[in-house]
Amino acid sequence: MGGFSTLGGGLTWEEIKSKLESEGAKNKAYDGDVDGVFDLAAIPDTLTGKDADSVDGYHLSDDRILPIQKIAFLPVEQVYSGELSVPAGGTATWTVQPPSGEVWKACVGGHCTVSDGAIKIGLTDGTQTYYLWEKSGDDYDTCIAKTLIITNSVYAIVQAVNNTGSAGTYFGGCNAVKIPDGIAYVFADTIAAGTREINRIEPPQGAPAYLHYLKAEIDTGGDTSDLVVRILDRTIPIGGGGTHFGVVGWDSKSGLNTAEYGRALGEDYLVIITYDYPLEFEIENEGGSGYTGYKVVMVEIMY
């Protein structure tokens, strides 16, 4: 402040300018005419863009500037990969189960190099297995990899099927990323026969995408009619949103549209639905009155 006081004590701008022109060697080097703008020649080339390549090797016009990474990538756990020799007509099965209490997003895959092999990928709880995807048959080089959300109780399974008359080599593997948010348990309830609606209209706060496991344990009460689960969405027309959901363990019934699934009675059911929209489930006993009840367990995983 003292400097300003001195300067303000009697020097005019013209006098200050004169002093700068005559006395300030440094200032003269950068701003020869003291017009308040640095002389271009005094500025290093790398700062003016005249020779930016010498700094980073990229040229703005090359369109090679790396995009800003908006996604925070979590470290990938290379859980397992390995080969098995599978005899003619046999199967090789890998199961990959995360540590207790943890939820992982896992990429699991399989590979076979025989002309009549198949690779299946799915979920299992150790007792029941639901295969979600299968690639088989004609390809000489059959390879498939899919992403699953897995826990210690519902984990990944890869099965290689050798349909040939000779031994073949098959590969199974899994990489995974831990999901930090964990499981939000929604409910477990035993309900009477009839239709049960499960509504989740608003997405959970802070969860841009989420996933549901839905398991219905059926007490058939001797009824042989089908159970149907309908997956409804209030923002996507039924039939038009087919790519937005996946269903496990439910067979599509003839005559139903793509958003309706059903399966014969007497088995446990498991549904996995990946979704990033508000949605609505409906479980319906098609027979109307035969069930003595069914237990529905729904687990929601946010990520």
Least spacing, CB of residue 160 vs other proteins, in Å: 9
Which residue type, as a one-letter code, is found at position 5? S
Q: Is 79 in the site for other proteins (CB under 8 A)?
A: yes
Least spacing, CB of residue 100 vs other proteins, in Å: 4
Q: Per CB under 8 A, which of residues 148..167 are in contact with other proteins?
A: 162, 165-167
What would the x/- binding string for other proteins be over residues 167 to 196, using CB under 8 A?
xx---x-x----------------------
Other CB atoms closer than 10 Å to residue 158's CB: what's the count?
27
Residue from 19, 30, 52, 97 binding other proteins (CB under 8 A): 97
For the CA atoms of the chain, what is the radius of gyration?
33
Other CB atoms closer than 10 Å to residue 214's CB: what's the count?
24
Shorter beta-carbon distance to other proteins: residue 69 or 100: 100
Distance set, CA 226 to CA 24, 49, 197, 244, 266 (Å): 93, 71, 17, 24, 10
Dihedral angle sign, alpha carbons of residues 158, 134, 146, 181: negative
CB 150 within 8 A of CB 123: yes
Q: Per CB under 8 A, which of residues 101..140 are in contact with other proteins?
A: 124, 127-129
Q: How many residues bind other proteins (CB under 8 A)?
A: 33
Residue from 29, 55, 65, 88 binding other proteins (CB under 8 A): 88
Least spacing, CB of residue 69 vs other proteins, in Å: 26
| Region of 137 on the Ramachandran plot (φ > 0 left; ψ -120 to 50 alpha; else beta) | left
Binding positions for other proteins, rule: CB under 8 A: 77-80, 82, 84-100, 124, 127-129, 162, 165-168, 172, 174
